[in-house]
Every structure is written in structure tokens, then in C-alpha cells.
Amino acid sequence: MIIKMDNENTNTLRNYEFVNSYIIRVFAIPIMSYLSQTDPEIANAIEAELGRERHVLEMIPSENFVSRAVLEALGSVATNKYAEGLPGQRYYGGCDEIDKLESLAIERAKKLFGAEHVNVQPLSGAPANIAVYSALLKPDDAILGMDLSHGGHLTHGSPVTWMAKLFNFIRYKTTAEGKIDYDHIRTMAHEHKPKLILVGYSAYTREIDYAAIKTIADDVGALTMADIAHIAGLIAAGEMNNPVTSFDVVTTTTHKTLRGPRGGMIMCKKNHAKAIDSAVFPGLQGGPHENNIAAKAVAFKEALKPSFKEYAKQIKKNAKALEKVFTGSNAKLMFGGTDNHMLLIDVTPLGLSGKEAQIVLDSVGITLNKNMIPDDPRSPMDPSGIRLGTPALTTRGLKEADMERIAQTILDVLTHRTDDGVKDKARAMVKELTEKHPLYPDFSYL
């Protein structure tokens, strides 16, 4: 696995992997022998997933590859411990070591983002958002958030969610040019008087002017919230604007560009700390998953290293390399390009839907996801667009030239999707790149 580290950690990783490799070759002892002996069906399924990850080009922008250290923490004995409450305020005994690891996660997150208060217990991004609404709002309060089809998230007010039944979500859209119209948001804010203005996205590709949003919110007496789930790693590395120091509350996942375990986190001003903590527990969750929190702490430590800043820079360089190729194609690049790690592309000019594009690219080993485009005339399960990004491939060590090659291959496959020769050529490229940039070498569940 290619993750840039300092010399000490790099040597440790190499030594560790050498020892494991030696054990496998000489003694034929599988690394995950307990799992394979106890439940071979599950072991086989996980091994097959490992094989899939090793041999495809993973371009879903919300996915990444964690380090072996994160994997070890996630699978540790910390999963055995119940620890309802917060460090130093538990409802169970025997939490001394758990308090240490959760406190480390909190302090590292504060340092990464410049946060006044952090809660690392949310199980994922959606529960984190729901906890914020629960903490700061009353039923029927108005929330001004981004429309799902224009790049927002389900939990930002989509009518299919339970939260949409409890709160009055007003949704803003991007302009015809694909940009956020701050003047329009100001007009909507003065009209609807929201209690909370929410920014953030799951498929928007441009930077956000948080200062403009804060000014609008102050004008109408609204709280400010940013959901940075997709771009947290880029923000932590200083590659994108940071709303944590100015907004009332910021939520994020800990995977995606932050390259940690699947989980959530809430950062807020100190005056909201008690309400946020109480909303998470006992309001919405019971005992926190301390193995997951331990893995978050490891990921935060990795993200504090200088090498992570270089990683984040490369994520953006790689995304720009993709943009360069798609801009000159018949496919339509949404929002006019990208300022972050992902692209949203309308593939209907190529004569197929986003679902069809996802399926044909899966067949050659390129994994991305179908996605709606702004005001999409098609359905969410068979939309017009595809969403793709660079975090996982950057973790593996791919650079700009690789991205340009991949983007051109995607266009070739989508344009000539019935041509077996074109698809065979694409598969050969995938094989070449994945072998050149191996993932988790000498690691097995069997």
C-alpha cells in the first residue's frame, strides 16, 4: 500500500510487512487464521472484497483506503468495552484506557481543524447531522440547505428523509453556470428567516465562500452549519477553506478524503458543546464504538503529518488532470470543473445514462457511481450523471499522467461500449496500474 509517511513510520511499516510476508512464505500461517478457521464463509467474502479492491481502479469519491494501523485499531479489543458518556464522565467502570484513546482522538481533531469543541462519537455523517438538528433546533424550525440534485446531501432536506418531516427545509440551487448564488441565498434567508443556514455537499465540486454565508446568517439571526464530509481531509491539509473557526457547528465523516475509518464527528463553538454532546448521548446514541474512535485517533495522527499535506495537494492535482481530459470531450462537466477531489459528469451526450455508464465501467475494472445532475430529468436510480474522484487512487500513488490516461480510457469505453477490443484494452490498463501500485501487499484473510 502506498501512503506517504515519515522515515521512521515508513521503515516500521516495511519491517512489519516483511515479517508478515516471511511468516506467510515460510510457515504458511495466514494473518487472519482465526477468522478463516471460525467462519470461512465470511473470511472468503472479505478476502474476495480485498481482491476486488486490489484489482480495480477505485474512483468513488467518498471511498478511500485506510492504513494498516487504522485497520488494526478498528479490529482491536476496544470493541469489547462499553463506555456510555464522555471521557471522565462514564456510566461504566473500567474506562481509564478508553478515556485516554477517546481524549487523544478529540485533541488531535481540535488541532487538525482549529476546533473549540469536538465530539467523536457519531457513528457516521448522517447521525452527526441529525444530532446537530436535534441539539440546536425545534420541530418545524426552518433550515436553508442545498438541494440534493444540485450537490447537497440526503440529510440536508431531501423529502425522502425522516428529518424532512420534522423540520422545514428550504433548498437552494446552483445557477445555470453551476455556481452557488450567494445573493439568491441572501434573498431566501430574508424571506424565510431560517434558524439554521447549512452549506456542504456530496456532489458539488467547487469551493464555498463561508464568510459570505456567515454574513448572511448574521443578518437574519441564523446559526451556521457546514457539512464538510467530502472535503475534510483537504481542509485539514489547508487545501480548501476552513469553516470550523467561524461557523457555529461543522460536521464531517472521518473517511473519504480524511482517510480514516467510516464514522462521524461534530465540531462546534464552546457555547454549543453541552447541547451537542447531550444530543449525541443520551439523545440519539448509546454506547460509543470505541474501536472506531481508536481508529479515528490513528487517522487524525496520520493527517497531522507533513506527508498528509502533500497527499491532499496531489488529490487536487489528480482531479485537475481528470478535468483537463473531460473538458475537451463530448461529456458535460457539471459546475464547470472542480476545486476539490471529485467531478460530476453528464454522460447523456455520449448516448447512455449514468447507470449504464457505471455498469460498463465496472465491467472493465473502473469503479465509480451513477449520480444525479442539477435538475436531472431522470430518476435517482437511473440518473444522467456519474460521480468520480481521486482520493483512493492518490492513496495508491497514482499521479497526473495516470489520471489523464484513465480519463481518456473512461471516454473510450463509454463511447465504444460495444467494442470488445476497446474494453480489453481498458482492462489491460487497469491491470497494469493496479500491479504497479499494489494495495495491502502480503495481507490475507485466509
What's the pLDDT at 32?
Answer: 56
- Residues 46 and 41: their CA atoms lie apart, in Å, by 9
Catalytic residue among 4, 90, 195, 256: 256
Whether 77-303 and 312-436 share one fold: the answer is no
Catalytic residue among 84, 99, 116, 442: 84
Catalytic residue among 102, 147, 227, 339: 227
323-356 pLDDT per residue, tens: 999 999 999 999 999 999 999 999 999 999 999 9
What's the pLDDT at 25?
Answer: 40
Average pLDDT over residues 430-440: 98
What's the pLDDT at 18?
Answer: 40
Across the chain, mean pLDDT equals 92
Residue 378: exposure state from Cβ atoms within 10 A (0-12, 13-18, ≥19): middle
pLDDT at 6 exceeding the cut of 80 = no
Average pLDDT over residues 386-396: 98
What's the pLDDT at 152?
Answer: 79
Q: Of 14-18, 81-85, 308-312, 352-356, which gets the smallest average pLDDT? A: 14-18
pLDDT at 137 exceeding the cut of 50 = yes
What's the pLDDT at 136?
Answer: 98
Residues forming a β-bridge with 252: 265
Active site residue 417: no
- Asked if 292 and 264 count as a contact pair (C-beta separation under 8 A), the reply is no
Which three cell numbers, joined as nine digits, stand for 187?
434573498
What's the pLDDT at 27?
Answer: 37
Torsion angle (degrees, nearest 10) of CA 114, 245, 133, 284 = 10
pLDDT at 15 exceeding the cut of 50 = no
pLDDT at 428 exceeding the cut of 60 = yes
Active site residue 84: yes
pLDDT at 13 exceeding the cut of 90 = no
- Decide yes or no: CATH 3.40.640.10 for domain 77-303: yes
Active site residue 183: no
Residue 226: exposure state from Cβ atoms within 10 A (0-12, 13-18, ≥19): buried
Average pLDDT over residues 313-327: 98
pLDDT at 76 exceeding the cut of 60 = yes
Catalytic residue among 108, 171, 262, 423: 262
Domain edges within the chain: 77-303, 312-436
Average pLDDT over residues 166-173: 92
272-282 pLDDT per residue, tens: 999 999 999 99
Catalytic residue among 253, 254, 409, 434: 253
Structural fold of domain 312-436: Aspartate Aminotransferase, domain 1 (3.90.1150)
Band (4; pLDDT cuts 50, 70, 90): very low
Residues forming a β-bridge with 344: 387
Q: By C-alpha distance, which of 352, 387, 411 is closest to 58?
A: 387
Active site residue 253: yes
- Residues 57 and 435: their CA atoms lie apart, in Å, by 11
pLDDT at 164 exceeding the cut of 70 = yes
- Residues 340 and 320: their CA atoms lie apart, in Å, by 9
- Residues 340 and 235: their CA atoms lie apart, in Å, by 10
Tally of CB atoms within 10 A around 341: 28
Residue keyed to cell 482522538: 105
218-249 pLDDT per residue, tens: 999 999 999 999 999 999 999 999 999 999 99
Residues ≥6 apart with Cβ < 8 Å to 82: 92, 287
Active site residue 227: yes
248-274 pLDDT per residue, tens: 999 999 999 999 999 999 999 999 999
Active site residue 210: no
187-210 pLDDT per residue, tens: 999 999 999 999 998 889 999 999
Handedness of CA 78, 251, 319, 379 (dihedral sign): positive
Catalytic residue among 82, 182, 320, 324: 82
Q: Of 28-32, 123-127, 366-370, 431-435, which gets the smallest average pLDDT? A: 28-32
- Percentage of the chain beyond pLDDT 70 is 93
**Considering the entire predicted model, what is its pTM?**
0.91
Average pLDDT over residues 115-131: 97
What's the pLDDT at 31?
Answer: 52
